[in-house]
């Protein structure tokens, strides 16, 4: 099979995987249009479903308690940042203790990344998984296709800011993350200035650019009705330094000062709040969109990522009953504190009611009871248009409503239970898979795999019986493991285990010329590598070398390790590039040559200026795989965090200690897969979205460019496997065997992806489908991209070697 045929198979593989993904990531069903007052039941004019309420007016004659709102979103504001011990939010906690507000822990759904959380916070919806991850904004394409008409309106219009603007003609100002501007229709805001969330390293300017608008907004406080501030600095601190970064506490204090300033600015003159049972005046909301893990990442569904702070502060009104409790609260200010849990989407109907606006039609949140004191408000309800269970609940809700109007009240618990049931029923209905597409794609995948397996290996390539059994057992177990969510979460364990078992096997049954010391060395190395970064879910919190090295007191050790790695890289580059036929050149000129080439090449690679790059490669560096491999070291040098660098030295050691040839194609292929996968997990990778490391995604970029950020993210997160793809080149066998090897790797890969696809199809109603299997499928697609790159690198080199003949053997 020529590489062209393999390429064709690879593309076919890509095709069915994409087709399966289209079926698996559901299209969200949403009610078209936007919430209006006419959505409300027709009461109190009539308890039957008769005449509609006059449009544009609140039919309940309800007077909303608040007439102005400041919505402060602090990105990644985990619940304990406000409520936990050592919080920097001193004045916020003070105000709460004095009865000026109420606090909740708002639980966000996975994926805990900004865009879907923001959608949840403005429209109360559950966004589709894929569009959330890819930050794709929804338009109503599907609705347009279905010809339902009446819909230039996407999610953006069915959100509380747009509804306030349209139904109550509110003037809204927004400063902060420009996602808001992409999410909501442009005319929603009377004044707006966006900041970009893409420079993760900036933790200062990004927030200054928001805060500088606060004084002027307070001076003009009669000119706006809603003020939205979205701060990104705290999230950026998390991404670059984790939860325990020294910048974290000062940032919390900075955010606290902003709230304090807003609170004082909006307090009534002479600071005399009204004490009474019903709230009034302006409302300040402080909330986070998602939390973060202690390492500072987010995306998954762990408690740390999904618990966010949500506070309602009202400077003009003081809850009277809090007064007598003040001392007790004061005492608790020093300690951690655990407010009641609500769902994040519950903000949407609650806020709509507090401001007297219609609730977004697609909202799935329910009312937070304690925030509303006057009863008529409690009887609002979102309008369900689903059939079946949800529809029943909706009608039941209407009956309760009628009952309430006749008898003045139904028990609050019952009403709450009902709306929660309705919300859950709607939520599960909101997503639907296209099973037909998934099945068709799976069938195509199986056909492809059968085609690939058509030719059996030549007899000279069939390994020893015991080895065949070992390989078959490993593959069978790997296939079986994708059906168990815990195994998917802890996938690294299996790869480490297989690789270690393989070395063990060779130790027990050594081949001629194979050194036992080398095998023992491999086992020790793997043990060290796997302890470098704890990953997965269950044991990710256990101490690891990364944590040890990043402690301030171990800085010297980290430096020694990093410098040793640099020396190893340099020696390696020196050996390879120094041997490129310059004869007997003195040491220092040669070293100089190596360093300048390395620097030029890595800068070029970072800038990725293709014409320059090709020119430089053609002019200066002979085409040798080992050259590319050394250059990749230098690229990774720029893309790695310091504590990860020593792993490159370990990879070199692993590579150096590899038995010169383990023999047959199948064994070589599987060894390559072991090494590539274990290196991915060793660098901290996992199957959770939270472990995608964004900290180096902006290296060398002076302005944001989505393709470059995606490329750099891919390069840094898959750097381990990419390193092995390059390091494997000198090991590639002769012409015939390497074709067999390429096909073998492809076969194993297609087999594993098929198994996962089947698991996803079978387990699509499983509890963990969104938190475990969907991320795993996204990772699988990224791995597919990796394999495409790997084959391309290998084939480019093959073509070159075949052209030039044996003259350019690589330095190993
Ligand atoms: Zn965020």
Taking the centre of ligand 1 as the mean of its atom positions, its distance from the CA of residue 255, in whole angstroms, is 15
Task: Quote the domain boundaries for residue 715.
Answer: 3-19+434-808
* Ligand 1 centroid to residue 289 C-alpha, Å: 6
Lowest mean pLDDT among 472-486, 547-561, 570-584: 570-584
Q: How far is the CA of 231 from the centre of ligand 1 (A)?
A: 9
Q: Would you say 397 and 418 are in contact if contact means Cβ atoms under 8 Å apart? A: yes
Report if residue 56 sits inside a domain.
Answer: no
SS3 194: strand
Please tell me which residue, 322 or 552, carries the higher pLDDT value.
Answer: 552
Residue 43 lies in a domain: no
Distance 747 CA to ligand 1 centre (A): 39
Q: How confident is the model at residue 48 (pLDDT cuts 50, 70, 90)?
A: very low
- Rounded to the nearest whole angstrom, what is the distance from the C-alpha of residue 410 to the centroid of ligand 1? 39
Q: Is the pLDDT of residue 792 over 80?
A: yes
For residue 536, how far is its CA from the centre of ligand 1 (angstroms)?
A: 22
How much distance in Å is there from the Cα of 192 to the middle of ligand 1? Answer: 19
- Is 90 exceeded by the pLDDT of residue 17? yes
Give distance in angstroms: CA of 312 to centre of ligand 1.
20
DSSP H helices in 482-554: 485-489, 491-508, 516-532, 545-550
The reply to whether 172 falls in a domain is: yes
**Is residue 584 pLDDT above 50, yes or no?**
no
- Residue 524: phi and psi, rounded to 5, are -65, -45
In the block, which residue shows the tokens 């606006």?
357
Q: Which of 135-149, 409-423, 711-725 has the lowest mean pLDDT?
A: 135-149
Question: What's the whole-number mean pLDDT along residues 517-538?
Answer: 89
Kindly give the distance from the C-alpha atom of residue 209 to the centroid of ligand 1, in angstroms, as a whole number.
17
pLDDT tens, residue by residue, 237-270: 988 888 888 899 999 999 999 999 999 999 887 6
Residue 524 has what pLDDT? 94
The helix-helix angle for 625-639 and 587-607 (nearest 10°) equals 70
Task: Tell me, yes or no, whether 587 and 694 share the same domain.
Answer: yes
Please give the structure tokens belonging to residue 802: 């075949």
Neighbours of ion ligand 1 (CB under 5 A): 75, 114, 289
Q: Do residues 420 and 537 both lie within one domain?
A: no
Distance (angstroms) between ligand 1 centre and the Cα of 284 equals 20
356 shares its domain with 500: no
331 has pLDDT over 50: no
The number of CA neighbours under 13 Å toward the Cβ of 27 is 14
Answer whether residue 222 is part of any domain.
yes
Q: Residues 169-183: what's their mean pLDDT?
A: 89
612 pLDDT higher than 50: no
CB neighbour list of residue 278: distance below 8 Å, 6 or more residues apart = 65, 317, 373, 374
**3-state SS, residue 717:** helix
Q: How far is the CA of 36 from the centre of ligand 1 (A)?
A: 29
For 596-608, what is each residue's pLDDT tens digit?
Answer: 666 665 555 554 4
756-776 mean pLDDT: 84
Are 427 and 439 found together in one domain?
Answer: no
Range 490-509 average pLDDT: 91
Predicted pLDDT of residue 141 = 38
Reported as half-sphere exposure (CB side, CA atoms, 13 A), residue 684 has a value of 22
Residue among 753, 807, 788, 742 at smallest CA distance from 3: 742
Is the pLDDT at 652 greater than 80? The verdict is: yes
Same domain for 707 and 586 = yes
79 Cα to the center of ligand 1, angstroms: 14
3-state secondary structure of 478: helix
The 8 Å CB, 24+ separation contacts for 702-709 are 704/196, 704/198, 704/199, 708/608, 709/198
- Ligand 1 centre to CA of 114 (Å) is 4
> Are 428 and 462 part of one and the same domain?
no
Question: 268 C-alpha vs ligand 1 centroid, how far in Å?
Answer: 33
Q: End of a domain among 397, 417, 432?
A: 432
**283 shares its domain with 400:** no
Is 144 in contact with 151 (CB distance < 8 Å)? yes
Q: Ligand 1 center to residue 247 CA distance, Å?
A: 18
The stretch 488-509 carries a mean pLDDT of 91
The percentage of the chain sitting over the pLDDT mark of 70, rounded to a whole number, equals 73
Co-location of 407 and 517 in the same domain: no
Short-list 353, 377, 491, CA closest to 780: 491
pLDDT digits (tens, 9 = 90+) for 479-493: 999 888 888 889 999
Q: What is the residue-averaged pLDDT of the chain?
A: 78
What gap in Å lies between CA 797 and CA 731, rounded to an integer?
12
The predicted model gives 571-577 an average pLDDT of 66
Alpha helices by DSSP H, 124-169 = 129-133, 141-145, 160-168
> Would 403 be classed as within a structural domain?
yes
Do 425 and 442 lie in one domain? The reply is no
For residues 630 and 691, give the distance between their C-alpha atoms in angstroms, rounded to a whole number: 27
Ligand 1 centroid – CA 322 distance (Å): 33
Confidence of residue 526 (pLDDT cuts 50, 70, 90): very high
Residue 40 domain flag: no
| 300 closest CA partner among 17, 18, 686 | 686
Over its C-alpha atoms, the chain yields an Rg (Å, rounded) of: 30
Confidence of residue 2 (pLDDT cuts 50, 70, 90): low
Q: Is the predicted pLDDT of residue 811 greater than 90, yes or no?
A: no
- The answer as to whether 605 is a domain residue is yes
* Cα dihedral 279, 284, 289, 294 sign: negative
Of 369, 395, 410, which residue is a domain's last?
A: 369
**d(CA 640, ligand 1 centre) in Å:** 23
DSSP H helix total and E strand total for the chain: 33, 12
Per the rule left: phi > 0, alpha: psi between -120 and 50, beta: everything else, 744 is alpha
pLDDT digits (tens, 9 = 90+) for 539-550: 777 888 888 887
35 part of a folded domain: no
DSSP 456: P
**677 and 734 assigned to the same domain:** yes
pLDDT of residue 397: 67
How many domains in the chain?
3
| 585 and 448 belong to one structural domain | yes
Model pLDDT, residue 172: 94
**Confidence at residue 586, expressed as pLDDT on a 0 to 100 scale:** 52
Whether residue 441 is found in the same domain as residue 424: no
Q: Is the pLDDT of residue 521 over 70?
A: yes
pLDDT tens digits, residue range 408-454?
A: 555 566 667 777 777 777 776 666 678 888 999 999 999 999 988 88
């Amino acid at each position: 099979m020529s590489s062209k045929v393999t390429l064709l198979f690879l593309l076919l593989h890509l095709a069915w995987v994409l087709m399966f993904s289209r079926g698996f990531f559901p299209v969200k069903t949403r009610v078209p249009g936007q919430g209006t007052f006419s959505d409300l039941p027709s009461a109190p004019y009539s308890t039957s479903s008769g005449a509609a309420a006059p449009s544009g007016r609140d039919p309940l004659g309800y007077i909303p308690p608040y007439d102005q709102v400041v919505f402060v979103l602090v990105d990644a504001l985990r619940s304990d940042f406000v409520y936990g011990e050592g919080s920097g939010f001193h004045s916020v906690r003070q105000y709460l203790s004095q009865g000026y507000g109420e606090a909740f822990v708002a639980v966000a759904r996975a994926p805990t990344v900004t865009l879907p959380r923001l959608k949840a916070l403005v429209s109360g919806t559950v966004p589709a998984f894929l569009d959330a991850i890819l930050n794709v904004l929804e338009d109503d394409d599907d609705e347009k296709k279905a010809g339902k008409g009446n819909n230039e309106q996407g999610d953006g219009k069915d959100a509380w800011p747009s509804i306030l603007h349209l139904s109550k003609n509110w003037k809204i100002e927004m400063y902060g993350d420009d996602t808001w501007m992409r999410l909501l229709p442009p005319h929603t805001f009377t004044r707006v200035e966006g900041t970009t969330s893409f420079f993760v390293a900036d933790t200062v300017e990004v927030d200054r650019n928001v805060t500088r608008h606060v004084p002027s907004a307070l001076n003009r406080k009669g000119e706006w009705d809603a003020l939205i501030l979205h701060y990104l600095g705290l999230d950026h601190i998390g991404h670059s330094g984790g939860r325990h970064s020294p910048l974290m506490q000062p940032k919390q204090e900075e955010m606290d000062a902003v709230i304090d300033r807003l609170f004082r600015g909006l307090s009534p003159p002479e600071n005399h709040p009204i004490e009474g049972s019903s709230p009034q005046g302006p409302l300040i909301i402080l909330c986070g969109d998602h939390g973060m893990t202690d390492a500072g990442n987010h995306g998954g569904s762990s408690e740390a990522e999904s618990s966010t702070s949500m506070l309602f502060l009202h400077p003009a009104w003081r809850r009277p009953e809090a007064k007598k409790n003040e001392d007790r609260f004061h005492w608790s200010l020093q300690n951690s504190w655990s407010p009641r849990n609500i769902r994040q989407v519950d903000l949407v109907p609650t806020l709509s009611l507090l401001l007297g606006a219609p609730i977004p039609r697609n909202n799935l949140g329910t009312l937070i009871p304690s925030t509303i004191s006057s009863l008529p408000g409690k009887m609002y309800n979102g309008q369900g248009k689903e059939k079946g269970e949800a529809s029943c609940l909706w009608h039941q809700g209407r009956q309760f409503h009628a009952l309430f109007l006749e008898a003045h009240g139904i028990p609050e618990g019952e009403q709450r239970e009902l709306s929660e049931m309705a919300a859950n029923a709607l939520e599960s209905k909101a997503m639907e898979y296209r099973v037909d597409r998934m099945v068709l794609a799976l069938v195509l995948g199986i056909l492809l795999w059968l085609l690939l397996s058509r030719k059996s290996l030549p007899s000279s390539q069939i390994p020893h019986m015991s080895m065949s059994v070992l390989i078959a057992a490993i593959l069978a177990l790997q296939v079986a493991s994708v059906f168990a969510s815990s195994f998917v979460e802890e996938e690294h364990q299996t790869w480490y285990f297989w690789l270690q078992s393989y070395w063990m096997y060779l130790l027990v049954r050594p081949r001629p010329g194979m050194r036992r010391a080398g095998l023992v060395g491999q086992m020790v190395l793997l043990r060290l590598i796997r302890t470098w970064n704890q990953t997965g879910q269950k044991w990710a919190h256990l101490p690891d070398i990364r944590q040890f090295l990043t402690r301030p007191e171990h800085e010297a050790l980290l430096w020694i390790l990093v410098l040793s790695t640099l020396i190893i890289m340099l020696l390696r580059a020196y050996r390879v590039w120094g041997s490129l036929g310059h004869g007997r050149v003195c040491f220092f000129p040669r070293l100089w040559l190596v360093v300048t080439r390395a620097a030029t090449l890595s800068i070029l690679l970072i800038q990725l200026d293709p014409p320059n790059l090709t020119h430089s490669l053609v002019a200066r560096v002979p085409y040798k795989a080992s050259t590319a491999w050394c250059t990749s070291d230098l690229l990774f040098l720029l893309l790695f965090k310091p504590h990860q660098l020593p792993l490159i030295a370990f990879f070199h050691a692993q590579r150096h200690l590899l038995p010169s040839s383990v023999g047959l194609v199948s064994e070589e292929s599987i060894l390559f897969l072991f090494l590539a996968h274990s290196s991915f997990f060793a660098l901290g990778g996992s199957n959770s979205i939270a472990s995608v490391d964004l900290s180096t995604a902006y290296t060398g970029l002076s302005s944001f460019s989505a393709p470059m950020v995606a490329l750099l993210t891919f390069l840094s997160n898959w750097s381990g496997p990419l390193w092995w793809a390059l390091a494997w080149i000198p090991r590639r066998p002769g012409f015939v065997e390497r074709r067999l090897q390429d096909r073998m790797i492809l076969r194993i890969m297609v087999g594993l992806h098929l198994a996962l696809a089947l698991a996803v199809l079978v387990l699509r109603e499983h509890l963990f489908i969104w938190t475990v299997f969907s991320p795993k499928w996204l990772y699988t697609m990224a791995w597919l991209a990796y394999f495409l790159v790997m084959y391309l690198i290998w084939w480019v080199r093959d073509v070159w070697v075949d052209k030039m003949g044996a003259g350019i053997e690589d330095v190993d």
